[in-house]
Amino acid sequence: MPGRYPDARAIDIPLSFQVYNSFSKKKETFEPLSEGVVRMYNCGPTVYSRVHIGNWRAFLFADLLRRWLEHEGYEVRQVMNVTDVGHLTDEVAGEGEDRLEAQARREGIDPWKIAENYTQQFLDDGQTLGCKEAMVYPRASDHIPQMVEMIKALEAKGHAYRAGENVYFDVKSFGAYGALSGNRVDELDAGARVQVNEEKKHPADFALWKSDEHHLMKWETDFGPHGFPGWHIECSAMARAHLGDQIDIHTGGEDNIFPHHECEIAQSECFTGERFATYWMHTKFLQVDGGKMSKSLGNVWNVDDVIERGYESRALRFALLRGHYRQPLNFSWDILTESTRALEGLDDLVNRLRRLTDAEDAGSERVEAASTAFRAAMNDDLNVPKAVAALFVLRSDVLEGSVKGESADAALALLERADGVLGVLRADESAAGGAADAEIDALVAARQAAREAKDWAAADAARDELNARGIVVEDTSDGGTAWFRK
Ligand code: AMP
Ligand code: ZN
């Protein structure tokens, strides 16, 4: 179909990776600090309950980003932390109860056990959803000495102060506080978004270390006998411990921008005197009826809930990755049904390409255009919807018979490359629960032999048997046969 694709050379193809940086609020050309290596920190789960599929939208985005960077030839050092202490119930005000301890009280078990159980479940869910394993999943509770070191240095440099056994960060000591979120210190005054706390010099000052003798997860330090860290210092310390003073990319969900990431920048940059992260990337929420899917609102679903409804985990992965990460995504069971259908279409494309036996070559320009369009879309701030659309255009080309021979092999190679990034196609069709390929091949050969022997009854019987197994046999232009799963 001439004219369907613009000339590949004429499209404005981003040859290098463009990322939308939430810090500068514009798209920038990605350039890592060290050539060929990407240091990436992803804010991970707070393990006080089962990670829900909204969280998975943020974590799958991190996996997609890592896979795309690897596709582009980078070595990615990916760190995704596990918050097992210090994340309070009111995270904006930095007040309330430790989420782990509140859950421990509700479940009547030890908070360490809660953390262990839900951490393991998070790692298992990650495997179910096809996430590549990060270089490390550091636990906050394993990094107390690194946090204490940073807090003491911040105090020595005049960025932190003590109030009894609590230690606070002095937001007025960091002129750039608010640069990420746009919140200005002088507007963050008492009664607005932060509660009045008499100990603080400024209402927006946040806790680096808190003292509470009733806290179950606590440490004896120079600050006092029973303290625990603030949530923000945990990520600054873990990023530094595993990736160094400066990192390339920091990710999280949109709610992490303020206060969490704003505070991380303040702590890390006051400590090192250098820029902390070059690129900040934030995933918009998975929503339910236009609002955030969140544990506190009780409108959450987890991976098992989705599988119990009869959907494959890859359909969930695809549903969460298919929308652009900077657009909110509304959750409904329909998006899982649609994703299942779309995946069946792509599986079918792979199967058709595998079975094409034509010697003649055709459609190389279409495969080339699909390949270019896929890469251009992904390079454009991970535009998955556009990248997937390019694969579906290729599917129409194959269905109408325009791609054959070596070009069919090239199309298959493109799909494999694309799936190295998306991670949603079936590894092999026999895993689909259908009959094994060898059996089908034998039936197809039997039908062919019966036809050649003009034994029409036997040929029809073989076709019926294939039909019953969900297989369609087609005679190809070169006199051979090809078969597809329906
Ligand atoms: P938490 O376990 O609350 O610390 O959250 C872990 C990660 O999931 C953070 O990066 C959050 O921003 C992100 N997150 C939480 N809820 C959602 C949601 N509904 N959609 C997308 N990301 C979310
Ligand atoms: Zn974090």
Q: How does pLDDT run across 215-246, given as a tens digit for each residue?
A: 899 999 999 999 999 999 999 999 999 999 99
Q: How does pLDDT run across 152-163, given as a tens digit for each residue?
A: 999 999 999 999
| Ligand 1 contacts CB of residue 146 (under 6 A) | no
Residue burial 305-337, b: 16+ Cβ < 10 Å; e: rest: ebeeeebbbbbbbbbbbbbbbbebbebeeebbe
Q: How does pLDDT run across 37-66, given as a tens digit for each residue?
A: 999 999 999 999 999 999 999 999 999 999
What local confidence, expressed as pLDDT, does residue 486 receive? 65
Q: How does pLDDT run across 111-166, given as a tens digit for each residue?
A: 999 999 999 999 999 999 999 999 999 999 999 999 999 999 999 999 999 999 99
- Residue 144: both structure tokens together: 């107390």
| Residue 42: partners with Cβ closer than 8 Å, 6 or more residues away | 58, 59, 62, 78, 79, 80, 81, 134, 250, 251, 252
Q: Which residues surround ligand 2, an ion (CB under 5 A)?
A: 43, 235
pLDDT band at 199 (very low <50, low <70, confident <90, very high): very high
- Residue 331: both structure tokens together: 């959750």
Examine the pLDDT at 270 and tell me if it is beyond 70: yes
Report the atom number in ligand 1 closest to the C-alpha of 58. Answer: 22
| Ligand 1 contacts CB of residue 283 (under 6 A) | yes
Q: How does pLDDT run across 393-447, given as a tens digit for each residue?
A: 999 999 999 999 999 999 999 999 999 999 999 866 544 444 566 677 788 888 8
- Measured in Å, residue 8 CA sits from the centre of ligand 1 at 38
| Ligand 1 contacts CB of residue 61 (under 6 A) | no
Q: In degrees rounded to 5, what are phi and psi of residue 77? A: -95, 100
Q: How does pLDDT run across 294-324, given as a tens digit for each residue?
A: 887 889 999 999 999 999 999 999 999 999 9
Fold of the domain built from segment(s) 32-283: Rossmann fold (3.40.50)
* Residue nearest (by alpha carbon) to ligand 1 atom 23: 55
Q: What average pLDDT score do residues 340-355 get?
A: 96
Q: How does pLDDT run across 76-98, given as a tens digit for each residue?
A: 999 999 999 989 998 888 889 99
- Measured in Å, residue 54 CA sits from the centre of ligand 1 at 6
Q: How does pLDDT run across 366-375, given as a tens digit for each residue?
A: 999 999 999 9
What local confidence, expressed as pLDDT, does residue 430 receive? 46
| Ligand 1 contacts CB of residue 255 (under 6 A) | yes
pLDDT band at 8 (very low <50, low <70, confident <90, very high): very low
pLDDT band at 448 (very low <50, low <70, confident <90, very high): confident
- What's the distance, CA 466 to chain centroid? 40
What local confidence, expressed as pLDDT, does residue 188 receive? 79
Amino acid at 14: P
- Residue 221: both structure tokens together: 């330090």
- Measured in Å, residue 312 CA sits from the centre of ligand 1 at 22
Q: Report yes or no: 230 and 206 within 8 Å, Cβ to Cβ.
A: yes
Nearest to 313 by CA among 56, 42, 55, 45: 56
Helix ranges (H only) for 36-98 are 53-71
Ligand that comes closest to the CA of residue 87: 1
What local confidence, expressed as pLDDT, does residue 187 receive? 82
Its pTM surpasses 0.95: no
Rounded to the nearest 5 percent, the helix, strand and coil shares of the chain are 45, 20, 35
* Domains in the chain: boundaries: 32-283, 432-485
Ligand that comes closest to the CA of residue 80: 2
Task: Fill in the DSSP letter of residue 297.
Answer: G
Ligand that comes closest to the CA of residue 58: 1
Strand positions, DSSP E, 386-462 = none
